[in-house]
A and B are shown apart, each in its own frame.
Chain A
Amino acid sequence: MQVERRTSILRQWLGMAILTVVILVGGVMLEITSDGDKEEWYIDAWMVLGIAALASHLVLVSLPRVRLERAHRELEQRHARQCTILEESLEEMRHGDLVEFLGRVDQLPEVMSEAVQAAAQAISALVQQIQTSSVEVATSAGTVHATSAELVEGASQQAAAVVEITATTEELARTAGQIATSAGGQAEFVAKAQDAGNKGAISLEGAVQGVGELRHGIEAIADRADILGKRSREIYRVLDLITEIAQETHILALNAAIEASAAGEHGDRFGVVAEEVRRLAERSRESVESVRQLLDGFSESIRSVVVATEEGSKSAVQVLEQSRSTQDAIEQLRSALADTAGAAREISLATDEQRTASNQVVLTLREISEVIQRTADSFQQFTDSAERLSGLALSIQLLTQSFRTDSGHSLKNQVLGWSDRLRDSTANLEVVEGVLAEVVRNFPYIEIAYLVDTSGSMVAFEVNRTVVEDHRLKVTVSPGQAFADRPWFQAVSRDQRTAVTPPYVSLLTDDRCFTIAAAVRNRSGAMIGILGVDVNVRSWTSI
Chain B
Amino acid sequence: MRSDSGHPDNEDHFLLVRSGGHRCAIPVGAAKLVTKAPKVYPLPSSALRLLGLAQVAGEPVAVVDLHAILDPDGCPGGGHELTVIVRTRGGGSAIGLAIDEAFGVISVGRQWQRSTDDPGWVTGRMTMDGRTVVILDPEQLFVPASAD
Contacts and interface: CB of A to CB of B under 8 A. Distances in A.
B13 A261 contact: yes
A258 B15 contact: yes
Interface string A255-279: 1011011101100110110110010
14 contacts: A251-B35, A253-B104, A254-B34, A257-B3, A258-B28, A258-B32, A258-B33, A258-B105, A264-B7, A265-B7, A268-B6, A271-B3, A272-B3, A275-B105
A262 B15 CA distance: 11
A326 interface: no
A255 B3 contact: no
B5 A257 contact: no
B29 A262 contact: yes
A248 B28 CA distance: 19
B114 interface: no
A278 B104 contact: yes
A247 interface: yes
Contact of A254 (B4, B5, B7, B102): B102
B94 interface: no
State the 6 A-B residue pairs at the shortest beta-carbon distance, nearest first: A275-B3, A257-B105, A261-B28, A254-B34, A261-B13, A265-B7
Given A257-B104, A272-B5, A251 B36 contact: yes
A226 B127 CA distance: 52
Contacts of B15: 254, 258
Interface of A: 247-248, 250-251, 253-255, 257-258, 260-262, 264-265, 268-269, 271-272, 274-275, 278
Nearest to A253: B104
Contacts of A275: 3, 104-105
Given A254-B15, A257-B3, A262-B29, A271 B35 contact: no
A272 B3 CA distance: 7
B68 interface: no
Interface in B94-135: 102, 104-105
Interface of B: 3-7, 13, 15, 28-29, 31-36, 82, 102, 104-105
Q: SS class of chain A's interface: helix, strand, loop or mixed?
A: helix
Contacts of B3: 257, 271-272, 274-275
Nearest to A275: B3
Contact of B34 (A251, A261, A264, A272): A251
Contact of A269 (B5, B35, B82): B5
B61 to A, nearest CB: 15
B82 A258 contact: no
Given A258-B28, A269-B5, A251 B105 contact: no
Nearest to B12: A261
Contacts of B31: 258
B4 to A, nearest CB: 8
B13 A255 contact: no
Residue of B3, B15, B31, B35 with most partner-chain A CB within 10 A: B3
A268 B5 contact: yes
A250 B102 CA distance: 9
A272 to B, nearest CB: 6
B41 to A, nearest CB: 22
A254 B6 CA distance: 18
A1 B6 CA distance: 211
B36 A254 contact: no
Contacts of A269: 5
B36 A247 contact: yes
Contacts of B28: 258, 261-262
Contact of B33 (A248, A253, A255, A274): A255
